[in-house]
Structure 1
Amino acid sequence: MYSSGFRLSVSGCDSIIKKKLQLYGDKYPSVQLFFTPRPSRDFDVCVISGFEVIEVFENRKTKMEYFPPIIAFGPVEVMPAAIAAGCSDFLCEPWSTVELFERARRCLGDSAVYAGNLCIVSGVEGQLSVYDADGGLHKMRLPMREYEIYRLFAGNRGEYFDRESIIRLLTPPDSTVELQGSRAADMHISRLRRRINRLLVEAGGNAADNPVITVSGHGWGIVSQA
């Protein structure tokens, strides 16, 4: 079991469900569980009532893309409107605590990358987060190009990219601006690895566990993870 994981906030549930989540949460030591009045960008996954999703996001006064993945819960009749409002997943009542934890973990998708016994979570606005063994939070904001490269690797684990393919994939078809120079990809990846090394060490981890690796003859990437 990984010692550190992601921050999960739950809003709008009654005291009985809170108690069940607290008890079952002991089986998920990699999850930092919080009960909050509303969703926030301070967390990696947010769970809220489907009615609140509709009220807050349906009119688009608050943009869903500014938030981490949101899981809504409620009666099945609410599901279509909640999904249309933009939630990532929906829990139909009655739902179990294990279902919530497993769906939350699945919602992270390629946002969660394991490095030794630590978990790196990529969030909004180019931010990487790691939680140490004591639950302490360590953050780092990446420059745009480095974040794009990291997300490319995280979303294609087990695939490796040479410098030409990285430049091609990260340059929009209609753009006149490229990753300048044949060694630009090397430079960005070198800086990305150094930043991740520093983040892991700050969180009590080992720089040798950096998930961004070089495969001779193939390029760079992140190894497949179970």
Structure 2
Amino acid sequence: MKILVIEDDHPLLEGVTSVLKEEGYEIDFSITGDEGLFLAQQNIYDAIILDIMLPEIDGFEIIKELRTNSIKTPILLLTAKDSVEDRVKGLDAGADDYLIKPFAVPELLARLRVLLREKGTIGDQELSYGPIRLNVQEHDGYIDNDKLHLTIKEYELLEYFLRNREQILIRDQIFNRIWGLDSDVGLGVVDVYVHHLRKKLSAFHYDYLIHTVRGVGFMLKGINDDVSQN
């Protein structure tokens, strides 16, 4: 699971990222608002831990920009601004939770687990979207009771789509998440495996759920959605 931490207090940033890494999370971080916003827009994260008072762009503006662009990543605000008005402003802007500094590390980890569980990133034995159902323990997919017989990469790709359903995933994001930056295969492998996955779904007439966003990437979305597709 990949977490983005946007925090300009260097000791706090170091402490939070160290704890999260010990818990097994993969971490990206930024100490400025504009860089943090760029990272949040260019990458897919399972959650964002966000300070409010940041250089260049504050946390409120980051949240508004992400939500305006339909980026639904769960956001946990970490801030010393403890007034009711600030908490309400952050939640109304689109944050999912609010933790006031100073805080206890166990509470931070607990709140993060809640956000990830609500999103379906941890704690689920199954993921579903419409007719598609993934069994996390079996690492395979189903349409109703019929098994899809997915390969490892097909399963990882479909799981990534389900965890980020109704969000556009660009090819680079998919490649980096499924194959990794150090992979010796080319970016074209993404299209190959999307084709394989569609073929598995087409046996049940559900291949239309994976849309091609021309020149950008792919999206798992319903049939009545207004998205260009193959």
TM-score between the two structures when normalised by the length of structure 1: 0.48
TM-score between the two structures when normalised by the length of structure 2: 0.47
